[in-house]
Structure 1
Amino acid sequence: MNYEWLGGYFLQKAGVVKDYQPEWEATRYFVGGKMFAMQGGDKDGKPIFTIKLEPSLGDFLRKQYPGAVVPGYYMNKVHWNSLYLEGAIPEETVREMADWAYEAGLRALPKKKRSEIENGKE
């Protein structure tokens, strides 16, 4: 599996926590109680990272990397995108996708909660 650094990259960000969902065999990443990413597998067991992105950005990336970025596996197909972890996407792009997903999670929070996270008070 490529992008093994991705889970650690998320955990370096302010306010991020992870848990493991045994029923889904997936590790989930949250900021302020809002999930923004999940690492697991597809129906064939291929490793994927599913992340929340703005719909237009997700659509662009699906067209840019067909087969490597697909509509969110078992998630809302508009806001969630699954990234196959076999290395078809440049690492810099994956890092940007991770940053955008984290920002999407932050933007979903109330202003007070977001401010507490951004200022290191949580």
Structure 2
Amino acid sequence: MKYNWLDEYCLSKKGAEKDFQVDWNATRYMIRGKMFALQGCNKENKPIITVKLDPMYGDFLRRQYNDIVPGYYMNKTHWNSLSLDGDVPDDVVKDMLDKSYELIFNSLSKKVQKEITGSADTP
């Protein structure tokens, strides 16, 4: 796997947790039980990570990089899968993870957001 920093990066997000979903043979990264990234394999047993993105941004990335495709086993409009053997630059992958985290964080109640950040600030 090319992006060996993924686990540490995902867990560096405020309130981020991970678990291993045995049925899916995949690691989930979540905030208060809401998933922002899923790392596993596709049907060819190739390593992937799937993240939630604004549909327009996801579509833009899919057109820019062959290694980004509609979310594997997920809603194809909102979720995008990235080949972990691919050639997408690290900064683009980090931006995808940041945006996915922000989408999920912002879907939480203001009270929960404050609990996670310890203040009224956003992530």
The reply to whether TM is greater than 0.5 is: yes
Paired residue for 2:31? 31
Q: Which residue of 2 aligns with 1:82?
A: 81
Aligned residue for 2:39, secondary structure, equals strand
Q: Could you list the runs of 5+ residues in structure 1 that have no partner in the other structure? A: none
Cα deviation, 1:58-78, whole Å, max 9, x if unaligned, reads 011001102x00000000111
Q: 1:32 touches 1:106 (CA, 8 Å); kept in 2? A: no
Deviations 1:7-28 (A, max 9, x none): 1101011100000011100000
Greater relative CO (CA pairs within 8 A, separation 6+) = 1
How far residue 87 of structure 1 moved from its aligned partner, in angstroms, is 3.2
SS of 2:98's equivalent?
helix
Give me the identity figure in percent.
54
Deviations 1:60-107 (A, max 9, x none): 1001102x0000000011110000011310111111111111111101
Q: Secondary structure at the match of 2:51?
A: strand
> In the comparison of the two structures, how many residue pairs are matched?
119
Where does residue 18 of structure 1 map in the other structure?
18
Q: What residue number does 1:73 align with?
A: 72
1: CA distance between counterparts of 2:110 and 2:92? Answer: 28
1:19 counterpart letter in structure 2? D
2:62 aligned residue: 62
Aligned to 1:94: 93
Does the Cα contact within 8 Å between 1:58 and 1:79 map onto a contact in 2?
A: yes
Runs of 4+ in structure 1 displaced over 3 angstroms? none
- Structure 2, unmatched stretches of 5+, are none
TM-score, normalised on structure 1? 0.93
